[in-house]
A and B are shown apart, each in its own frame.
Chain A
């Protein structure tokens, strides 16, 4: 086992050395990947613009299915992409749930280095995790700002589910374990594309959502409830980079850390909103944002 592992490493190293010396070209070309949804596209595009500004040639390999993007970077098809700490912990490393954001970041950074020779650069303050959204009007009326408040007022709440949320371990069953029982006045299943419309039209009060969903930028209508007992794992966004690329181009870390420092949950939500709600092109939104922070 050990021998084969060593052999493969040697072979890989040899292959890499060959490709570097033989082909030579593309030495300063950084391949930026992304997953196949708005947020990942925007952030990857910002990474790309930041690298281009620093003089790198960037090859954009965007829109990779979320389930294969990790394989792509391990197989040396891309050099870096934006990943979520929670996804790294639960989906890639398949480790047990941890909810403390810093602990999650520390664990994934350590394990990625050990298992895949990948580096997690500094984490942004943008958390795209699971959340619950309430109509702002009702939140103000009943004073519901946290999930504990929601649990206390559940009997006055019409809940709009997507079905799976009622069954998933990190859905209602998980919430009830941490917060106690939710006796909603009513709970109906809807298509997830309708959730914000339902709240807007006063046909439901609370619905599950992701914490950087574009519509959440409109805080007059929607309020994100605080997960005050921290039941959901954090999904902070950070660049994952191949070690060999970092070794050769040390300044990539500084360039991307600057981007991460400028990203927090509200900023990312508003960037998503510009693409998903205002229907602008993600390249344009990314370029504008990069202009504002460079």
Chain B
């Protein structure tokens, strides 16, 4: 088995590295877009409760659709390749970021906001210095969930020609070759752990005050 794996790496190192790079790039892009949609949408939801009433259920409903189904449903509209893969991954990741942002903001104790206002902070200052920092741990948890989901699901992108480590896994499935399955699967797992670890590290850096 390990000899086979070594053989695979020897012959296909270029393909393997390219697959990792594609996988990481798709995942990073999807995470960025999901955060760019999820966090502002979460803030909007807290500011305007009317928005929350339809935005939250909408994304929760979209999340129920399996990513694989989304991929294939999008083909007639967006074709194949990177774009539909990104859309499916963003749809998958937005809910956990959005819901965690909303929860983080809502659980900030009312008295802290009142105290801040009493101290003469403007609305903007309250957001920047009280609300968002208080919600940050929850938002980061959301991002951490999102990134692991994205990296795991990005394997499906290989089904529609977007590349990534899924190519190696599906090839292994087709050929019944465990060396390929392991090479692809373990790398996805490793990538997931690495990404989740990085988000945790980012949290520690951003919230240094907690660890003095």
A and B assemble together: yes
Enumerate chain A residues within 8 angstroms of B81, measured Cβ to Cβ: 188, 203
Report the separation of the CA atoms of residues A162 and B161 in the bound assembly, to the nearest whole angstrom.
Answer: 9
The 8 closest A-B pairs by CB, nearest first: A164-B174, A163-B171, A191-B159, A188-B161, A189-B167, A190-B161, A163-B170, A164-B175
Cβ B170 vs Cβ A162 within 8 A? yes
Contacts A190-B160, A190-B161; A163 near B167 (Cβ below 8 A): yes
Q: Does B79 sit within 8 A of A, measured CB to CB?
A: yes
**Which of chain B's residues 157-190 have a Cβ closer than 8 Å to chain A?**
158-161, 163, 166-168, 170-171, 174-175, 177, 180
List, in ascending order, chain B residues with CB within 8 A of A163's CB.
158, 167-168, 170-171, 174
- State whether A162 and B75 are in contact (beta carbons under 8 Å apart), knowing that A188-B163, A189-B161, A189-B167 are contacts in the complex: no
Residues 75-93 of B, flagged 1 when their CB comes within 8 A of A and 0 if not, give: 1000111000000000000
Binding site for B on A (CB under 8 A): 160, 162-164, 166-168, 188-191, 194, 197-198, 201, 203-204
Task: Show 17 A/B contacts (Cβ-Cβ < 8 Å), sorted by A.
Answer: A160-B161, A162-B170, A163-B167, A163-B170, A163-B174, A164-B170, A166-B171, A167-B180, A168-B175, A189-B170, A190-B159, A190-B160, A197-B75, A198-B80, A203-B79, A203-B81, A204-B161
Tally of contact residues, B, Cβ under 8 A: 18
- Give B residues with C-beta under 8 Å from A: 75, 79-81, 158-161, 163, 166-168, 170-171, 174-175, 177, 180
**Measured between alpha carbons, how far is A160 from B174 in the docked complex, in Å?**
15
CB < 8 Å: which of A166, A167, A168, A189 contacts B158? A189
Q: B9 to chain A: closest CB distance in Å?
A: 14
Residue on B with the closest CB to A190? B161
Evaluate whether A164 and B160 lie within 8 angstroms (CB atoms) in the complex, with A190-B80, A197-B75 already known: no
Decide if the interface of chain A is mainly helix, strand, loop or mixed.
Answer: mixed
- The closest CB in chain A to the CB of B177 belongs to A167
Once bound together, how far apart are the Cα atoms of A254 and B160, in whole Å? 48
Residues of B within 8 A of A167 (CB): 171, 175, 177, 180
Q: Which residue of A lies closest to B167 (CB)?
A: A189
CB-based contact B175/A189 at 8 Å = no
- Chain A residues with Cβ below 8 Å from B175 are 164, 167-168
Instruction: Report A-chain residues with C-beta under 8 Å of the C-beta of B180.
Output: 167
CB-nearest residue of chain A to B19: A189
| A residues near B159, Cβ cutoff 8 Å | 190-191, 194
Known contacts A166-B171, A190-B159; 17 additional CB pairs below 8 A are A162-B170, A162-B174, A163-B158, A163-B170, A163-B174, A167-B177, A168-B175, A188-B81, A189-B167, A191-B159, A194-B80, A194-B159, A194-B160, A197-B75, A201-B79, A201-B80, A203-B161
Chain B, residue nearest A158 (CB): B161
Q: Which residues of B contact A166 (CB under 8 A)?
A: 171
